[in-house]
Structure 1
Amino acid sequence: MSPMSAVVEERPPPVLGKGHGGMPARRAVVRWAWRLFRREWRQQALVLVLLVIAVAATTAGLGYAGSAGDPQAATFGTANRLATIGSTGAQADADLATLRTSFGTIEVINHQKIPVPGSATAYDLRAQDPNGPYGRSMLRLTAGRYPQGADEVAVTPRVAKTFDLRLDGTWDQGGRRRTVVGLVENPLNLLDHFALVAPGQAGADAQTAVLIRSTEQQFRAARKPDGMSAQFRGTQTDPGTVPVLVLATIGLLFVGLLAVAGFTVMAQRRMRALGMLGAIGASHRHIRLVLVANGAVIGATGAIVGAAAGLAGWAAFSPRLEPLIGRRIDRFDLPWSAFAAMLLLAVLTAVGAAWWPARAAARVPVVAALSARPLPPRPAHRFALAGLALLAAGLGALFTSHHEEPPYLIGGVLGVATGLLLLAPLGVAAAGRLARFVPLAPRLALRDLARYRARSSAAVAAITLAVGIAAALALAAAVSVAKAAAPAGGNLPADQLVVWLGPSGLDGPVPETTPEQEAAARQQVDVIAAALHATSVLPLQAAMDPHGPQVGDSGGGRPVSQMGIGRRETIGGRTMTQYSSSEADPLVVATPEVLRHYGIDPASIAADTDIVTFRASYDGYDLIPSDRPDWRPKVQHADLPAYPSLPGSLITAHAMATLRLQAVPGGWLVHAPGPLTQAQIDRAEETAQRSGLTVETRPTGADVARVALFATAIGIAVALGVLAVTVGLIRSETARDLRTLTATGAPRRTRRALTAATAGALALLGALLGTAGAYLALLSWHHRALHWLGHPPSVALAAILAGLPAVAYAGGWLLAGKEAPALSRQPLD
């Protein structure tokens, strides 16, 4: 018998799910995904629109954050030090020569005050070279030309309006006539109101400021004039870009949750086609690639279109934003690295949202895929365990943050949010188990939610995220309102306000005023007091060092004395004493009016007493500023108010003489007959702003409460939008079940009840999870003072827990009409 032989004419087909087919197979699958995207772009329009909106909004937000710029540039220009010399005449020339020898290139700017009739503030007459080496960025010509001669001036629009000036007109100021040759502005600070003259044309009493650029070592080693003070330009950070990216991440997470629901429905619609693809030899990797490539196309399209829309909108809107932020905006000066990160994040969001349904679809057996049956839901406890762990970790981080550690705060918020999102499947499963206790239509709706858990859980997670943010803001606002209403604590009593001459009260420089300006300011204070029916108006005087350096480039004023705890710190190679504002007391002069107001007999104060205060002692405190570092005040205790903005520490005439300080007007304490309302505060602030004054009151919390209600309304609107999208997906996915109900004689009201119950159940689940998460987060945050949470925002919580489900149910009932004709035919794959 002859031997037998066998010849294999062709390679056997690869085992299903094992082969990969190489690059040609992947290209074929990607081309098919692209054709599906073009054919079914309407079904994917929702995800596209959401991505476009998120990317466009983030682009505008990055533009706004980038437009803030460096606030110090409006004063320093491109220099990093601003020196002030107090000398005049020949001594000033000698001091400037010393600075030129020490630092080389410098820029000299002279400032002279221009009193404003009827106002406590003064404008700045500025002698500056428009082409200076460091300060040219602080000048911009809007009309006319820069002044060149001795009798020429350019003014900002506010100065022109105040003194009724126009181009080519004449300005008689201080007995000197000048021709207005131009309109100028500081593009880095549109609130900088000044008049510009040629270099050297300021008055003899002008203050000399010098812009310098040098390193710390050079500045220390350089020879400097006696009596010179210098301000150092701090390191500029970009605090605006990071919050925008954080908000963009939250927004894209929300979009991703909705995209998961959309991609899940699309995967179910394509199940038969995917099964056919697997039947002809496609691997699991190829099936995943179909949906992931589709997600990448959607993400890239949304990112490109959204970026274009955002850039166009920012270019059109940014000019209107300039008056609000007080500086000129370079429309194309965007943080491009953050912009690129945002585009990449948008694409990754779409890819990530498509990957999870793609992973589930790739694991479906071929026979089950060809039958297009719904997949059995995955056990909810797998997500619940991870969600509980993340929620506990987030709450623990908030608990240990002590309101001061940013890493713990950020990690806590992210942990709580992610934990709640992972608990959404557990809530959907629980709703499915409760279906047996409700009537027929709600029973079918709840079981459908549990049956299509992947899509339902994503929708509940999105609603939870929107509602949780709104509920947290409402609870935080309620805490603020409760603190404002508390009888103790706060900066001021509820029935008092202070009208300050300076913008920072006695914590910053107090402007030097003429008697006429002081009288004009007191007149405005009397107007405020009359509107409040005030029972008393108490003048407050500050202790100022007349020989100290003046602060600000437009005559901002001189620093006043403070008592504060000093701690040594090294910043930028320099060791200095930093003072904590929470532990510093502005020293108010112990005038007879102040002593009489608080019932203190002047005869009871010892002749050598320096400070009268509510504190027991001032051991360990330093007086700033002082040329007597070894001076330790003698303190006498008195019954003075402990509010931070009230005169709780008084400096006596003995200390004023010892430290060579001068009493200057600081503000007025106005006492109303009852607690101030928000309307009264608004009117007082409006009156004060017209005269350049600053009003300080105890916060009422009304503004925060209004913002919280607005945020609650936005959260509910977003949740309703999610419901509209989700219910539409559910109706398209359960069309066969609706046809079966119709065939068995179910009336229209049953179909309406199904849709309404679905929307109401999703809204209720999201509202409960979001509110519970917000309460847990606030409990961890306020664990040391839980009593503040005893004042719940009833209106906001009622709107979330009752109003949102009710509106969702009613909307589902009204919008669920006759079945669309397209649902009566099964589409071919």
Structure 2
Amino acid sequence: MSPFTGWRAALRIARRDAMRAKGRSALVVAMIALPVLGVTAADVTYRSVSSSETERLTAEMGSADALFSDPGLGPLQQMPDGNQYDMVGETPPQGEVPPVDMRTAFPKGARAITIRSVPASVTTAYGLANTDIVEFPTSDPMARGKVDLIEGEFPRGSGEMAATKPFLESSGLHVGSRTTVKSADRTYTITGVVELPDDLKAHKLYADPGAVIAPWQAAAARDKKVLPPNTGSPEWLVKGPGRAGVDWDDVLAANKAGALVLSRQVVLDPPPDSEVPLAQKVNSYDTSGSGEASAALVTVVAMALLEIVLLAGPAFAVGARRSRRQLGLVGTCGGDRRHVRAVVLSGGLVLGAIGAVTGVAAGLLLTVATRPLIEDWAGQRFGSLVVKPAELLVIAALGLVTGLLAALAPAIVAARQSVLESLTGRRGVRRSSRVLPTVGSCALALGVAVAVYGGTSGNSTWVAGGSVVAELGLLACIPVIVGLLGRLGRRLPLSPRMALRDAARNRGRTAPAVAAVMAAVAGSVAIATYMSSTLAESDYDYMPMLTEGTMVLSAMDAKSAEQLPLARTSVERNMAVTGAPADFSRVWAGSDCNVYYEEENGCGSIELVKPTGAGHTCPLKAKGAKKLAARLSAEEHRKMMRTPECMDEYLSSGSFSSEANNMVVGGPDLLRTYAKLDDPAAAAALKAGTPVLLNRAYAKNGEITLKVVHRYSAKDEKNRKLHPGPARTATERLKVYVADAEYAATPGLRMVMPQRTAERLGLHTEAAGSVYAVPHLPKDAEEQRVSAAIDQAGGGLWLQTESRQGDRENTVLLILTLFAGVVTLGAAAITTGLAKADAEADLTTLSAVGAPPRVRRTLSGFQCVVVALTGVLLGTAAGLVPAVALRLVDLRHAMEAMREEPMESAFTPIVLPWATIGLLAVVVPLLAGVLAAGLTRSRLTLARRAG
């Protein structure tokens, strides 16, 4: 008899059983198909976004044969791909390498077009914006693939431009709009919208060669106030003669002329190393990261398989239990245990195959449907939709194998049942094994100890190993934990009491679902905790240029300061500012160093002398700082770094930086708006002519020492006449109002001096700008309006705002939370569905004895809550182990760096992501319970009990 005869019968039985139990089969297929769908979509997306060599070359050089550039080194040698190159001979003195004459570098008979880029200010629908203008014949066939037209027409002639879509969106312009390049004083019509396939987020304008740079250069030649364009070195796209292209001999000849060449033919068919002079000097590529990437990939795949097995396994167990009479009949007909196992495994094979095929097909359709969104998110176009049949076959095979693995444990359990138990429907009574939870508890303790040891010793490998062991130990303890849940419901109402006891009684169904939730939540909480902690560390180490919620309008010189009233009006009219501006003036002694910097010893200076000794000198900068740092804990070091005497050593100079030690002339409004010092005593001191010192480390007995050097440049005729005589140095002792220690952290501002005090000391002052309080960072339209107003006023002014990094990876935290939430909902829903299918007899009995209809709904809801909440809480505990241990590793490294350089920050906080934990621990279980209760029918149609 053929060995496959029994399997054919088993497959038929499994197929018919799957068709009969459509709901349970759909759950299993969905659990297998969803991960397969995700992996398929990720594979196709990765292959499509990762451009091939041909697509990369097209994005760089269009349809040309080569891209020539001048690195300014003279004769050089290069690798075939152009990524590495070196000059031939000794390094020439700076400025002695003449530009390359590309006519001698191009192959004979070749055709070339140039690419030249220049930064410029252009008018927009709102005002004025800074962008890059590229002179490039976009209508030339060689440009296809490098710059593509998506709307309108390519520019033709000197009065037209094309723009990228991001530029048009930020500027408020469109096809047909006109824009003026300020320096060139020329107006252009936007005729089309173009895109760079490899950079969809670029803000650029495109014009034909000679349309912008030449008029700009002519304007600079006519008007000395107009700065010439800063174009840098141009590039050339080259089409070789005939169909020969640009070969390696052409590249070598161009290298001798000083040109760097990226040739399509050479990159796709590189010469042997023996023909590449630079190959002997270049080290082989580093592939050390490939092993780590492979390990990460294996880990991700293994975790995905574990999730499916944990979630789909109970469904097969319930299916085997519901079909136990059928399996018993197999035994009465002469079948043995291996035939029973074959029937259950065949169910895994059938459903796994359906899930795998469905997942692959759905993944392909999903990728095609979301391709535009993926391209916008990635910032580049797919060269083509790349589908690797071999990889998709492997992915489908993994889905199939996963179905078999999920059915393996239920198959073994079903085969162990006696025929009598199967036919009568009795489950029997089995005691829970005490070995597994004992081993799990030991593994949990050992894993936590190893992870903590790895963290304190700085070994991340031990951390990873210990975390895995701890999580596996916790997995082994889940059946016991689930069993203990039944004891918690003694005093609860009927529905929650039944839900807890049902979960405890059916551990084989509940424990895997709880484990799946725990595994998903543990990973998400671990990453979220580590990211929240590193973001808190980044916030601590960040040195702001301005205080939070402020914006500074500054003048570059005395002439531009005359335009401050007009600029202030524009800012207040076009931006969301709160309150009146706080004006300030800069202060200096002698001749202004910012103006006469080219004359040695021709400038005056002001120095705020810092006293020495305790309370003034930072201990981390004094003698013996390394020995002191070696004795400090991280918290002690953090507190010392935040003292006024140490803070001034590393805090940014900010917007008010000058030779005057961050001193400005201002009034109480500057203290309130910028320093956030709303103190009547400080305001009264300024009005009385007493300076306000924000960093108390510079004061001794309520006084500061100001060293003033009055020196005048020979070019500063005006001030030399007002202050004749030789240079002199004065040491002034001034009584000051000393602010509290917290105000030493004010960026760029150390002391505010009254105007009359500056005049009394013989110092010069000049209006320098205004500080505004703003509720949010300026938008593009607001900045463009103000820039236009400043330009109309004569220029020389600029706005400075605090530029923090966006949402700082909050998107990643959101995705992790959503992923864990979806898995939690799915696991809870599947378990609840299986519980309903597995407990129909109990529900029928409840209805028969008169239980209200709502009991069914509330029971389903509480069953869902039990699984979700238990899994989330265990997952949170499991996820904190690797996160905390890895932060301990970071702390050790930070302490080592601090002891080498005492001013290095050793602050390594551990911050729990309470928003993520709260969402998972409260919102998701409640949502799961509400959905389960809402989707459950209240009334049950009574049926005759079988058997």
Contact persistence 1:57–1:310 (CA under 8 A): yes
Contact persistence 1:497–1:698 (CA under 8 A): no
How far did 1:734 drift? 2.4
1:452 alignment counterpart: 506
1:418-567 equivalences in 2 (<5 Å): 418-432=472-486, 445-469=499-523, 471-472=525-526, 475-476=529-530, 479=533, 483=537, 489-492=541-544, 495-496=547-548, 530=577
Are 1:260 and 2:318 matched, yes or no? no
1:38-117 equivalences in 2 (<5 Å): 38-66=19-47, 68-69=49-50, 76-77=60-61, 83-85=69-71, 94-97=100-103, 99-100=105-106, 108-117=114-123
- Counterpart Cα distance in 1 of 2:246 and 2:40: 36
**Could you say what secondary structure the match of 1:596 adopts?**
coil
CA 695–755 in structure 1, closer or farther in 2 if over 3 Å, else same: same
- Counterpart Cα distance in 1 of 2:467 and 2:66: 38
TM-score of the two chains, using structure 1 as the length reference: 0.64
- Match among 25, 31, 45 for residue 12 of structure 2: 31
How far did 1:264 drift? 0.9
1:665 alignment counterpart: none
Are 1:209 and 2:235 matched, yes or no? yes
- Counterpart Cα distance in 2 of 1:474 and 1:405: 21
Are 1:737 and 2:842 matched, yes or no? yes
Contact persistence 1:99–1:106 (CA under 8 A): no
2:941 alignment counterpart: 821
List per-residue Cα deviations over 1:167-208 (Å, max 9, x = no partner).
799999947798877653322222332314269997487531
- Counterpart Cα distance in 2 of 1:72 and 1:596: 52
How far did 1:111 drift? 3.0
2:136 alignment counterpart: 127
1:191 alignment counterpart: 201
Amino acid at match of 2:884: L
2:824 alignment counterpart: 719
- Counterpart Cα distance in 2 of 1:273 and 1:669: 88
Contact persistence 1:471–1:797 (CA under 8 A): yes
1:280 alignment counterpart: 333
- Counterpart Cα distance in 1 of 2:508 and 2:33: 24
Give the number of aligned pairs.
686
Contact persistence 1:497–1:670 (CA under 8 A): no
CA 805–201 in structure 1, closer or farther in 2 if over 3 Å, else same: closer
**Could you say what secondary structure the match of 1:456 adopts?**
helix
- Counterpart Cα distance in 2 of 1:815 and 1:144: 52
How far did 1:140 drift? 1.4
- Counterpart Cα distance in 1 of 2:113 and 2:464: 44
Contact persistence 1:389–1:419 (CA under 8 A): yes
CA 269–406 in structure 1, closer or farther in 2 if over 3 Å, else same: same
CA 107–298 in structure 1, closer or farther in 2 if over 3 Å, else same: farther
List per-residue Cα deviations over 1:64-105 (Å, max 9, x = no partner).
5455446987974489987445699xx988532454479x99
Contact persistence 2:158–2:210 (CA under 8 A): no
CA 497–21 in structure 1, closer or farther in 2 if over 3 Å, else same: same
CA 179–489 in structure 1, closer or farther in 2 if over 3 Å, else same: closer
1:160-171 equivalences in 2 (<5 Å): 166=175
- Counterpart Cα distance in 1 of 2:708 and 2:492: 82
1:141 alignment counterpart: 149
Amino acid at match of 2:234: T
**Could you say what secondary structure the match of 1:357 adopts?**
helix
CA 154–474 in structure 1, closer or farther in 2 if over 3 Å, else same: closer
The gaps in structure 1 that reach 5 residues or longer are 1-19, 502-514, 542-584, 607-640, 649-667, 674-678
Contact persistence 1:496–1:671 (CA under 8 A): no
The gaps in structure 2 that reach 5 residues or longer are 75-96, 218-228, 239-244, 268-284, 554-559, 587-593, 595-648, 664-697, 699-705, 712-742, 751-767, 788-797, 893-906
2:833 alignment counterpart: 728
Amino acid at match of 2:940: A
- Counterpart Cα distance in 2 of 1:340 and 1:521: 69
Amino acid at match of 1:366: V
Contact persistence 2:551–2:802 (CA under 8 A): yes
Q: Which moved more, 1:451-460 or 1:807-816?
A: 807-816
CA 122–699 in structure 1, closer or farther in 2 if over 3 Å, else same: closer
Amino acid at match of 1:360: V
Q: Which moved more, 1:23-32 or 1:597-606?
A: 597-606
How far did 1:817 drift? 6.4
List per-residue Cα deviations over 1:786-817 (Å, max 9, x = no partner).
99777656666556556666666777777776
1:22 alignment counterpart: 3
Amino acid at match of 1:208: P
- Counterpart Cα distance in 2 of 1:144 and 1:92: 41
**Could you say what secondary structure the match of 1:595 adopts?**
coil
- Counterpart Cα distance in 1 of 2:549 and 2:801: 7
Among the aligned pairs, what percent are the same residue? 24
Amino acid at match of 1:137: G
Contact persistence 1:111–1:209 (CA under 8 A): no
1:578 alignment counterpart: none
Contact persistence 1:445–1:757 (CA under 8 A): yes
- Counterpart Cα distance in 2 of 1:391 and 1:778: 17
Contact persistence 2:116–2:234 (CA under 8 A): yes
TM-score of the two chains, using structure 2 as the length reference: 0.57
**Could you say what secondary structure the match of 1:109 adopts?**
strand
- Counterpart Cα distance in 2 of 1:352 and 1:424: 20
**Could you say what secondary structure the match of 1:346 adopts?**
helix
2:896 alignment counterpart: none
CA 137–42 in structure 1, closer or farther in 2 if over 3 Å, else same: same
CA 145–442 in structure 1, closer or farther in 2 if over 3 Å, else same: closer
- Match among 370, 373, 396 for residue 343 of structure 1: 396
How far did 1:260 drift? 1.2
How far did 1:266 drift? 0.3
CA 450–32 in structure 1, closer or farther in 2 if over 3 Å, else same: same
List per-residue Cα deviations over 1:758-787 (Å, max 9, x = no partner).
444434422331222133233223236699
Contact persistence 1:82–1:209 (CA under 8 A): yes
Contact persistence 2:175–2:190 (CA under 8 A): yes
- Counterpart Cα distance in 2 of 1:706 and 1:435: 39
- Counterpart Cα distance in 2 of 1:520 and 1:115: 23
How far did 1:265 drift? 0.5
CA 127–92 in structure 1, closer or farther in 2 if over 3 Å, else same: farther
CA 391–587 in structure 1, closer or farther in 2 if over 3 Å, else same: closer
CA 124–169 in structure 1, closer or farther in 2 if over 3 Å, else same: closer
- Counterpart Cα distance in 2 of 1:762 and 1:346: 25
Amino acid at match of 1:124: I
1:613 alignment counterpart: none
**Could you say what secondary structure the match of 1:187 adopts?**
coil
List per-residue Cα deviations over 1:624-677 (Å, max 9, x = no partner).
xxxxxxxxxxxxxxxxx999x9899xxxxxxxxxxxxxxxxxxx999787xxxx
- Counterpart Cα distance in 1 of 2:388 and 2:707: 61
Contact persistence 1:529–1:537 (CA under 8 A): no
- Counterpart Cα distance in 2 of 1:745 and 1:393: 51
